[in-house]
Amino acid sequence: MTTTLRTLTRRQVDRSVKDSLAQVYLAAYGDPALPESALDADNFVTSTLPRHARRAGFRLVVATTDDVVSGYGYGFTGRRGQFWSDWLAGAAPEAIVEDWVGDHFELVDLVVDPAFRGQGLSGLLHDALVQDLPHERALLATAPDDGPAARLYSGRGWQVLVPEIDGAKALFGLDLTTRTAQ
Ligand SMILES: CC(C)(COP(=O)(O)OP(=O)(O)OC[C@H]1O[C@@H](n2cnc3c(N)ncnc32)[C@H](O)[C@@H]1OP(=O)(O)O)[C@@H](O)C(=O)NCCC(=O)NCCS
C-alpha cells in the first residue's frame, strides 16, 4: 500500500475534498446505517470545517492510500476570543493557561479511517501537521488512556498538562520551540 500526504489551504478544500473527509468522519465517528450519523458528517464538512478553515494558521493534511482518502488531521492558530481558548482559560489551572493558551496551534482532530488503522498512518499525518509550524506551542484534548491516540501523542513529545479537562479527556501540550531550534 502506498500513502501520500497533501497539505491543503482553505481554498483547496473543495467539494470533492469535503466529500472524502465526510466519508472518513462517518466511518470513524458514526454508524453508516444511521441517518443522523450522515447528517453529523455533513455538518462537519459544511459548517465546522469551513468555519475553522477561515481561522489564521489553518492547516489540513489529507492522507490518500492507494487512491482512497484514508485519514486527515487539521488545526489552526488558537486565540483568546475563540470558544475553546476561552473555555480552557476557565477550566485549566492559571499557570497552564498563562504558559500555553493563546497563539498556540490548536490540533482539532486527527482521524484515520478504521479500514486503514494500525499501520502508522496517524504518525505520518501528525508529523506533516506539526512540521515547521511557526507556533511555540500546540494543544489538543484527547483521552489519556493507553489507546492509540494517547500513544501517538506521547510518543511524539506531547505531555499531559491537565489530566482531566473535559470529562474523560486530558489537555496535551507540545513544546514546538525545541523542535524549531534543532
Ligand atoms: C487515534 C488514531 C488516529 C490512530 O490511527 P492509526 O493510524 O490507527 O494509529 P497508528 O497505527 O499510527 O498507531 C498509533 C499508536 O497507537 C498504537 N496502536 C495502534 N492501534 C492500537 C490499539 N488498537 N490499541 C492500542 N494501541 C494501538 C500504535 O502501536 C502506535 O503506538 P506506538 O507509536 O507506540 O507504536 C485512530 O485510532 C483514530 O482515528 N481514532 C479516532 C479519532 C481520534 O480519537 N483521534 C485522536 C483525537 S485528536
pLDDT value of position 166: 85
Q: How many domains are contained in the chain?
A: 1
Q: Which residue's entry shows cell 506533516?
A: 128
Residues with CB under 6 A from ligand 1: 28, 109-112, 117-123, 140, 142, 147-149, 151-152, 155
- Model-wide pTM > 0.85: yes
Atom of ligand 1 nearest to the CA of 107: 48
Q: What is the mean pLDDT of the chain?
A: 95
Chain Cα centroid distance, residue 48? 13
pLDDT per residue as tens digits for the range 15-55: 999 999 999 999 999 998 999 999 999 999 999 999 999 99
Question: Measured over all CA atoms, what is the biggest interatomic distance in the chain, rounded to whole angstroms?
Answer: 49
Q: Residue 165: which residues within 8 A CB-CB, separation 6 or more?
A: 88, 91, 92, 141, 171
Residue whose CA is closest, atom 28 of ligand 1?
148
What's the domain range around 138?
A: 3-180
Q: Do the Cβ atoms of 68 and 129 come closer than 8 Å?
A: no
The span from the CA of 86 to the CA of 79, in Å, is 8
Q: Can you give the CATH number for the domain in which 16 is found?
A: 3.40.630.30
Q: Give CA separation, 59 vs 53, 108, 182, in Å.
A: 8, 10, 22
